[in-house]
Structure 1
Amino acid sequence: MAQAWLGRIVERRIRKKGIDLTELTFFPESARLPLLRRGVDPVPELAELRARCPVERLDLPMGLAAHLVTGYEQARAVLADRDSYSNDIRHLFGDAGPGSTADVGGLGFTDPPLHTRLRKLVAPEFTRRRLDRLEPTVEAIVTRRLDELAAAGSPADLAEHVSWRVPMDVICGLLGLDDADHEAFVRLGTKRFDATGGAAAALGAVSEQKRILLDVVARQRTAPGHGLIGRVLQAEGDALSDDDLAGLVDGIVTGGYETTASSLSLGTMVLLRDPAHAALVREGSPAEIDGLVEELLRYLSVVQVAFPRFAKQDLELSGCPVRRGDLVAVSLSGADRDPAWAGPQPDRFQPDRSPAGGHLAFGHGMHRCVGAELARMELRITLPALFRRFPDLALAVPEETLPWRGLSFVHGVEELPVSF
């Protein structure tokens, strides 16, 4: 009742002043469905909606007309369409403060030609061929973090010692960030995806991380480091502003950390459900491990909703009229559980599922996650190493008692106690 009353107040202010998401301190009930889960599974209502209508109109209290896409075919079409939609969200924020142009950046919220230019700067660093040279470094990081888990003694929190640390160590080393910044990024990573406090709270975390990165870029402009930030600064010089580079790095840190950390924790939990799956990740061939990782990515789809799109013109999407300016939200977890694509029993984890590829866990099209191959590498290295090092690994608490995130754009658990 209180939220409905607050929603009416916000809507009246929006009609007078225009949309400003920095003032939204709660997440509307009508937009929560794609963020709700029961354990690792999307709530049944999402599948019911997909079966009834793969594109559903949502009426949001902030005055925005929105359309939720849950069908795989429709989701893939929207994500691939660079002509009909814009990812620029600056019109939803005020002119100053958190959420201003200076605070909302990165590849996911930009359109060509800026998006094209920024992606070209970093994409070569994330190719499979380039990342192969990083494999020994990742293996060394994994070994060190598994040593720390062992030293902590059983039971211990896998998320704290391994899941959160491995991807942060990897991404910070790749970018050339100081170890002193790691703790701040770990702390802010979860906050920026938490929808319980609305856009205002999440944008506060975004702004704080952006300020840290602006300081990093300013320091490295004077003394370039050995990582990606330093190489971009040496190549581009003053042609790239501190703000654009900090926004680009912000997106890489966030995309390269939180999503992989959640996949490691939840992936471990899923594999521990069945001794055959644990044995497969421990003893399987490289091809079998690849297939298992792809199925984990599909099954978990920890990034629940793709970057928002806004229609550039009136159009029709699967029979649903979409007007110019309408928001189109793609449910990645809903699309990846679509039986029309995934096949029978899409809510089951099946490492030998066919098709093994083609999932949307990393998005699709122009805005597909630039770090997808890095995430795959970290999962392929970490999970087998974990299960080989600790062959008797087990959850230390019942799965249903884990501290699940209640409303987050990146699904996960706050901790994962394990015994070994």
Structure 2
Amino acid sequence: MNRTTMRETEPDRPALIFTPEVKADSPRVLAELRARGPVQRVRLGNGLAAWAVLSYEEARAALTHPDLRHDPTPSEKALEAVGYTVHKPGHGVGGSMLQLDPPDHTRLRRLVAPAFSPRRTRLLTERVHEITAGLLDAMAPRGEADLVEAFTAPLPVTVICELLGIPAADRDSFRRWTGDFLGLPSDRQRAAGLSLNGYVAELVERKLAEPADDLLSDLTLQSSTQDGRLSRAELIGTAVLLVIAGHDTTVNLIGNAMVALFRAPHQADLLRARPELVEQAVEEFLRLDSSVEASTLRFAANDLELAGVRIRRGDVVAVYLGQASRDAPQAEGTDPAVLDVTRPGPRHVAFGHGIHHCLGAPLARMEASVAIGALLRRFPDLRLAVPLDDLCWIPVGMMRGPLELPVRFTPRPHGTTVR
């Protein structure tokens, strides 16, 4: 092969992305990859070759394409070659709606959807305000904190565990297990999956014996009926999914939002002056730096084409929701790279698109609005205690967010009103 031919084929060689070093700077890296075209060949952090979908329009197309499915059967050889584990029913999120295609996906989603309806979310709002106030009361006298440890993590995990009926004493374990489970395939990930499943299985037995007024009790009772609406493996997978999706995404949504405000303090001042903008600002935070950086993998059931790129049966496709959201068309004259909490109706795919659009989106939006608004009101001089470039980010997996957010503020007495 002569030098000219090699140079011509180099753009088709997989780019190595999603290593820990790249994750810390992934918006820039993915933007550079997007500049080469909306669909690019990449190699994921676990070594798996895949097609990366990087544009807004192609992301929406991929997420609704009938030949891009969750069934990994056509891709089994490629997955086995790199030791990629597909979660089977009864382990991790295996058996949950996240890993299923219709009609099973439709059946499971219909069973869970009422718990996350806009109406149910409105009913939970008062409780979210109470939890927020308690966490900020504990922070206020100290004048400094790790915002992730003290606030952005315990708020969502408390909400989802209360909704599901998970005892308060077990919530720290859930946080640790889900953190390990969301990493790349490893012994720690497998152990975390087993721990999550074992715990949920025991909790299901307790709910069967003594049901309570919570979502897990409702789902457990449905699994015990004879109409086959929810198998035990599906129940366990769904409960694990709800714990993970119900708090990790929101932890990072709030964390990413605060980093964006630390980068642009004039925008934080604007939200303090105009608190009615907070809900709109949450959409802008979702657009600018999505907490779910990439979708779950899709597997090509047949040959297809995206943006002129031929994708063959068995190929693996990853939709990069964060980059696609930053690529979304915005109002004329606005800069999509700049945080603008007044941006009119920002478009994004941070919660996915199509039948797998995030069921908990109303809850995440509400929690983030309450949390960010309360933080800004309670601590007018809230500031980062380390340089922005020194922040450490989640090193692997589909999530994006800061691992720690050391902050300082003027100490304040307990009981300051946050509403």
- Place the TM-score, normalised by the shorter chain, in its bin: 0.7 to 0.9
- For 1:199-214, list aligned pairs within 5 A: 201-214=188-201
SS where residue 310 of structure 1 aligns? strand
Q: Distance in 2 between matches of 1:161 and 1:63?
A: 35
Change (3 A) 1:404 1:347: same
User: Where in structure 2 are there 5+ consecutive unaligned residues?
Assistant: 1-13, 410-419
Paired residues in the alignment total 384
| 2:220 maps to 1:220 | no
CA RMSD of aligned residues (A): 2.7
Q: Equivalents in 1 of 2:396, 2:21: separation in Å? A: 6
Q: Deviations over 1:151-190 (max 9, x none)?
A: 4x12211111111000000000111111122011111222
Answer whether contact 2:88 2:95 (CA < 8 A) is retained: no
- Note the alpha carbon deviations across 1:103-159, whole angstroms, 9 max, x for none: 1232211111211111011111111122111111111011111112124x1221111
1:377 aligns with 2:360: no
Q: Residue 101 of structure 1 is aligned with which of 82, 89, 107? A: 89
1:52 partner letter: R
- Find the aligned partners of 2:239 and 2:218 in 1 and give their Cα distance: 13
User: What is the aligned counterpart of 2:166 among 161, 165, 177?
Assistant: 177
Q: Which residue of 1 aligns with 2:387?
A: 398
Displacement after TM superposition at 1:85 (Å): 1.8
Alignment of 1:131-280 (within 5 A): 131-151=121-141, 153-195=142-184, 198=185, 201-238=188-225, 239=228, 240-280=230-270
Aligned partner of 2:336 in structure 1 is 346
Is the CA contact 1:80–1:366 (under 8 Å) kept in the aligned structure 2?
A: yes
Amino acid paired to 1:208: S
The answer (yes or no) to whether the contact 2:384–2:408 under 8 Å persists in 1 is yes
Deviations 1:303-355 (A, max 9, x none): 11101111111111111111112111101111112165586532211112244
Which of these residues, 297, 301, 317, is aligned with residue 306 of structure 2? 317
Could you tell me how far 1:276 is from its partner in structure 2? 2.8
Give me the whole-angstrom Cα distance separating, in 2, the residues matched to 1:348 and 1:38.
19
Quick one: structure 1 residues 175 and 301, their matched pair in 2 at CA, closer, same or farther if it must change by over 3 Å? same
Question: 3-state DSSP class of the match of 2:305?
Answer: strand
| Cα offsets for 1:225-268 (capped at 9, x unmatched) | 21101122234424323221110011111011111111212212
**Which residue identity does 1:149 align to in structure 2?**
M
Assess, with a 3 A threshold, how the Cα gap between structure 1 residues 314 and 34 changes in structure 2: closer, same or farther.
Answer: farther
Residues 63 and 313 of structure 1: CA distance in aligned 2, closer, same or farther (over 3 Å): farther
TM-score of the pair, normalised by structure 1: 0.84
Task: Note the C-alpha offset of 1:368.
Answer: 1.1
The answer to whether structure 1 residue 42 and structure 2 residue 42 are counterparts is no
> In the superposition, relative to structure 1, how do residues 35 and 378 fare at CA in structure 2: closer, same or farther (>3 Å)?
farther
In the alignment, is the contact (CA less than 8 A) between 1:192 and 1:203 conserved in 2? yes
- SS of 1:76 mapped into structure 2: helix
> 2: CA distance between counterparts of 1:57 and 1:212?
39
1:169 is aligned with what amino acid?
A: T
CA distance in structure 2 between the aligned counterparts of 1:34 and 1:155, rounded to whole angstroms: 28
Shift of 1:397: 1.4
After TM superposition, give the deviation of residue 36 of structure 1 in Å. 3.0
Identity rate of aligned residues, in percent?
A: 38
Deviations 1:178-206 (A, max 9, x none): 112201111122222223xx455434323
Deviations 1:350-405 (A, max 9, x none): 1122442x311111111111101100000111111111111111111111112222
Structure 1 residue aligned with 2:70: 87
DSSP-derived class of the 2:371 partner:
helix
Q: TM-score, normalised by structure 2?
A: 0.84
- Which amino acid in 2 is paired with 1:227? D
* Mapped partners of 1:290, 1:64: distance in 2: 38
**Aligned equivalents of 1:267 and 1:102: distance in 2?**
35
1:36–1:42 Cα contact (<8 Å) kept = no
Distance 2:61 2:86 in 1: 32
Q: Does 1:32 align with 2:18?
A: yes
Structure 1 residues 98 and 411: CA distance shift in structure 2, 3 A: same
Change (3 A) 1:89 1:180: farther
**Preserved contact between residue 322 and residue 350 of structure 2 (Cα < 8 Å):** yes
Alignment counterpart, residue 66 of structure 1, candidates 15, 30, 50: 50
- The amino acid of 2:113's aligned partner reads A
The reply on whether 1:57 has 2:41 as its aligned counterpart is: yes
Range with bigger deviation, 137-146 or 217-226: 217-226
Query: Aligned pair in 2 of structure 1 residues 242, 390: CA closer, same or farther (>3 Å)?
Result: same
Q: After the TM superposition, which of the residue ranges 391-400 and 235-244 deviates more from structure 2? A: 235-244
